[in-house]
Structures are given as C-alpha cells and as structure tokens.
A and B are shown apart, each in its own frame.
Chain A
Amino acid sequence: MPASLVDRPQPDRANIDRARVLGHFRTMARIRAFEEAADQALKDGHVKGAVHLSIGQEGVASGVCANLDRGDFITSNHRGHGHTLAKGADMTAMMAELFGRATGACQGKGGSMHIADFQVGMLGANGVVGAGIPIAVGAAHAMKLAGDPRIVVCFFGDGAINRGPFLEGLNWAKAFDLPVLFVCEDNGFAATTRTRAVTAGPGPAARSESLGVPSTPVDGNDVVAVDAAAAELVARVRAGGGPQFLHARTYRLRGHTAADPAPYRPAAEVEERWLDDPIRRCRDLLALQGMAEAELDRVRADAVAEAAAAVADGLAAPHPDPALAWTDVQDVDMAEPATVGAGR
C-alpha cells in the first residue's frame, strides 16, 4: 500500500462534531472487541461454525448505520457482525448465536452467517455472496408500494459485483426508483482471490453508474468521511431521489474466515495496512481534537469488557432444546415432530 494512503491530506476537520466521532469510536471499538472475542471463542472451541471477521472494515458499518433510524432496514453478507452491531443489535444475543445457544439472536438456528435482528431492522446476514441485494431491493419495493418512509441499506463486498443479482438488483432498484442505498465494501478480496484479478473493467462504481445509479467514492477507513457521505446519500434516498451507491474502499485485515491465515498476500502488505486501521485513525483524530488518551482507553476497555461479558453470558446460556429443530420450518404438516427416521 502506498504511504500516501496514510499521509493523505485530511479534509477540513475544524467543525467536527466531537461527540459524533466519539460515538463512531465507541461503535467501532465494540465491533472490534466483538470480533476479537469471537475469534478467541472460535479458537477455544465455543464457536462451532465458520466466522468471517470484519476487523479493519468497522468504519463502513459505523459511518453508514449512524445515519439510519431504528426502523430502517439493512441486509448484510457473510461478514455481517459489524453491520448488525452498528444497526443496534444486542451483542449478548449475537455472541450466544455464535455459540449456538437458545438465547441466541436466532435461537441458535442460524449462527454467524445468518445473524439477524428484525427488531432493529436487520433483515439478515447471508451465506450466499450477493444474495442480500435482491432481498434489500424487494424490501425497498415493499416500502415504496406501501408509502412507508423507511429506507433500506444493502451491504455487500467487491466480490459480489461479479454475481448476476448485482446487475439485476441495481437495474431493478433504478427501474422502480426505490429507496435503497447500496454500500459496496471494497476490501480487495473475493474470498481468497484478489478481486481485481478476476474482474473486468474499472470496478464497482463504473458498473453502478452504467445503470444510472450514481456512485459516491469514499475512503472506507475514514469513518468521518463515510459518515458524511452516507448522510448525504441517505438524505437523497429519503427525499425520493432513488437508489444511491456508496463505494467504500477498505481492507480486510484478517483472512477470509477467522481460520484463514491468508498466505496469499505478503505480511508486509498487511502490516502497512494496519497503519490505516479505521479505529486507529479515528482515535488519532479524537486525540488531535483534545480528547484525553485515558478517556479513549476507557472506551476501548468498556467495549472489551462488554464483549467478555457477552462471552460469559453465552457460555452460561442453555443449549437449545432438541425439539427446537422442528419449529419454524413451516406451518403445514408440522403440528407434531415426526418420528426420527420416518423421513418426514
């Protein structure tokens, strides 16, 4: 990574809203603490399935979701913990879900890749790349149909732009002029392949623009810039301006899954990218604005303590009753659990 990315000229921050930036620092610290705790819990054997960490991408989740109301909707992808927390979901229920406990956000039926919290408008992470795009578009379509003022934000990665639903969904959103903000978190990787190696043309923004959906570029690791860009785009969407696209460049500081050591990229590249860590940059900014180091340390410590408490709660929570495997399949023909082995 070029040094210019670290030493880039900063926009004018004289009129910065310190409380709002501190809010971002807190949100990002909570996401980071959750991800680190989940990573450790995976190593300790408490998390059973795959976990995709969003370490390094917290600025996008925090910057965007700070502009949403509780009733607004989001869809997410397999790397969805950050979006879910930023939208206001309960950390304890999320950790319990990763542990497969009955108190989990989805009663232990979904796990990391299917985290959802409908109470805060989080319509679900997704195990299929790009699959959240049509779902977000449909939720926005239903809002428009019902004259409901709520809007939808759709998070996906740069890998998703090579899937058909990306083209179909953006075209649909524009054709029906729907209240949806597409947020492409461009972390440079499509699973374990560099996206640019398998992607024709100039990339996400050009594809979006080609469909008449205006794209706004932003440094996704600058949470203040993301917040400002998202504020503008959310306002446009709310005002009936139709679909908008935010192209947020960021970097996945960890592997594709938590278990992926990412040997396909040089260690020096990752080290350099850590200098561009959105949390570090936000902290530097707050310190520059006169925030005491001790206060910033306390925000971080509080987040770590909250995640540790979530882990402790999760470990103490009951496993689901096996009978729960039979619930919420479908109403018809599910009045009573079938005999095991009967194949029903």
Chain B
Amino acid sequence: MTELTYLDASREALAGEMRRDPRVWALGEDLGRGGVFGQYRGLAEEFGPARIADTPISEATIMGAAVGAALVGSRPVVEMRFSDFALCAVDELVNQAAKARYMFGGQGRVPLVVRQPIGMWRSSAAQHSQSLEAWYAHIPGLVVVAPATPADNYGLLRSAIRCDDPVVYMEHKDLWPLTGEVPVAADGGLVPLGRGRLVRPGHDVTIVTWSRMVQVAEAAAAEPGAPSIEVIDLRTLWPWDRAMVLDSVRRTGRCLVVHEAVQAGGFGGEIAATVGEELFGVLKAPVRRLGAPRIPVAYAPVLEATSRITAGQVAAAAARMV
C-alpha cells in the first residue's frame, strides 16, 4: 500500500498501463507540462511527447482522432480538461465512439477512455463546474465511471484503459488532493467496472451516491442524531450495481439518492425509479432524491453554495424518511 492523493493515483494508474501496454497513449491540451491539474506530471519525461501528446485546443478532433486511432488498434486516453469542454466533442463521443462497434456490426472496436473532470471547484462558475454524468449514462455503448477515492481512481482508471469499449471517466476536481492508501503494483489494484462499494453499513436508510458526494454522505451518517445510514458508492454509473443497491434497500426499506448534479433529469431518477419498480412492496418510505437545484452554478461563493449539497442537508433528508 502507498499513500497517494486522488490525483497522483490517477497518474500512477496511467503510467502503469502505459508501461504495460505500448498501445496506450494520452492526448489532450497541455499534457506535456503535466495537464491543467498536474495529473500528467512527469509522464512526458518517461514516455516522450509522442505518447503524451500535446494537442491543439480542438476538443472535437481530440475526441474524433481518438476514435480513429482506437479503430485501427491503439488505446487512447483522452483528456478533456473540464467535462464542460467535452460538450464540444459530443458528436465524436455520442455519434461516433459509442456507435462505431454497433453500427459496423462488430467490425471495429473503440477502446478509449475520455477523462472529463467534473464538479464544483473554487468558484469555477457555470462553464467549469458541471456534473453531466447522466448525459452519458443515457447513451448505449458508453461506460460511465465516477471514482470517489484514491484507490478507486487508481483501480478504475486501470480497468477503464483495459476496457475494449469507450469509457467516460469523470474525476471530481475537488477530490484531487484527497489522500488514501492505494495498492500500487505493476499489474494490480484493479477495481472492476460496474461494481459498487459498501462505504459503511447501516440499517435505517440506504444512501446511494458517487464521486464527491460519497464524503458528504459519510459525514452526514456520522452526524450526531442521524439515523443508521448505509452508504453505497456506485463508482460506476453505467453499468450501475443494481444488485448491491437492491440488496441494501431490501434490508433498510428506505433509499435516498444523493448527487452533485442537478436533480431534475439526473441519474438519481434512474436509481429511484428502479428501486420503486423492484421494491415497492418492501419500501417503508418513498424513495427520495437530493441533487442540485436546476440553476447554473454561480461564481460568488455565497451563490455557488446554493448548488452545493451539504452533509447537513443529507442528514436532514435521511432523518425525514425515518
């Protein structure tokens, strides 16, 4: 075990996969100098500028070129800098990467990872703060990952790079400095895609969450007077760990879904609906969602806070269900 930040864990994961497989390479803006957050620091020195490629500010072509490169046998890791910028590359991701294998009848595969940092971070305002995971979970052909811990950022990124289908990999910017034990190994520490993590057991309410909100849910569960809360970190949004969620809610009888993304149309709706469809008879309370209001994320901290879900809100929501 090695103590690493969430940021360093991702770098170790990419470096490990690049050492292991010469077909893996990374492309995006400013990667040579370490990437906008430093998550590529030192990689150009080890692997050279061809495999840690500095690209023009051309998100559509960063993504589209990765599709072409993947179709002919390489394994690109795409950096989009901010998930908000990846919106410039939605055709390339949704119409090309996600569809190529299917519409060509399995002749081609698109083994790429597109890293899209999400979330509110230091007053980044409306165009650098979004959490758009639900958009991609909606698209057949895409795997969607949102790690919450250093160990998961290490193990999930390695698994994502080994996945033969396109993976939308959403790291949370606010988690970069988070430290934790990471099982770094030349060929280990992998976390399977599609498996949730039981963060803490409880018997009154199941909180289903992911990314930055895992910490918030843990803090809520630890608040004095809170009901006994079981916290599940989904880790992968598609495919999501239905079995883990349904097993838990069968025991607790209550389900609260918490996400940083706007609540309306968020992925919490999919989870809530599934729990309602599958477990109507055992539910002790209506399934609840807690997400951001449907407003753009603002700049001024006092306004930005309106969009931020707090541990107090989560604890209160859970308490109201019991």
Contact = CB atoms under 8 A, between A and B. Distances in A.
A108 B104 CA distance: 9
Given A124-B104, A328-B102, A171 B71 contact: no
Contact of B55 (A75, A127, A133, A172): A172
Given A106-B103, A118-B107, A124-B108, A136 B68 contact: yes
B185 to A, nearest CB: 23
Contacts, number: 148
Interface in A156-179: 164-165, 168-169, 171-172, 175-176
A134 B74 contact: no
Q: Chain A interface: which size bin?
A: 35 or more
Given A172-B65, A331-B164, A332-B193, A135 B71 contact: yes
Interface stretch (B37-45, B92-100, B123-131, B285-293): B92-100
A319 to B, nearest CB: 14
Q: Chain B interface: which size bin?
A: 35 or more
B217 interface: no
B231 interface: no
Interface in A258-308: none
Interface in A122-148: 123-124, 126-128, 131, 133-143, 145-146
Contacts of A141: 65, 68-69
B54 to A, nearest CB: 10
Contact of B65 (A106, A114, A128, A137): A137
Nearest to B278: A342
A165 B65 CA distance: 10
B65 to A, nearest CB: 3
B104 A110 contact: yes
B50 A135 contact: no
A168 B56 contact: yes
Contacts of B239: 332-333
B102 A168 contact: no
Contacts of A172: 55-56, 58, 61, 65
Nearest to A113: B103
A171 B164 contact: no
B191 interface: no
B140 A134 contact: no
A279 B238 CA distance: 51
B276 interface: no
B66 A138 contact: yes
Contacts of A104: 105
Contact of B103 (A73, A110, A131, A176): A110
B91 interface: yes
A91 interface: no
Given A134-B61, A135-B71, A331-B165, A118 B66 contact: no
Contact of A135 (B96, B140, B165, B194): B96
A337 to B, nearest CB: 13
Interface string B208-249: 000000000000000000000000000000110000000000
Contacts of A35: none
A165 B64 contact: yes
A94 interface: no
A274 to B, nearest CB: 34
Contact of A333 (B56, B61, B194): B194
Nearest to B142: A330
Given A135-B64, A141-B68, A165-B60, A333 B103 contact: no
Contacts of A135: 64-65, 67-68, 71, 96
17 contacts: A104-B105, A117-B107, A123-B68, A124-B71, A128-B95, A131-B64, A131-B96, A134-B60, A135-B67, A138-B69, A139-B72, A141-B68, A176-B53, A327-B106, A330-B101, A330-B142, A331-B163
Q: Which 9 A-B residue pairings sit nearest by Cβ, starting from the closest? A: A134-B64, A138-B68, A138-B65, A333-B239, A106-B105, A107-B105, A135-B68, A168-B61, A142-B69
Given A73-B72, A106-B103, A327-B106, 5 more contacts: A123-B71, A131-B64, A172-B65, A331-B164, A332-B163
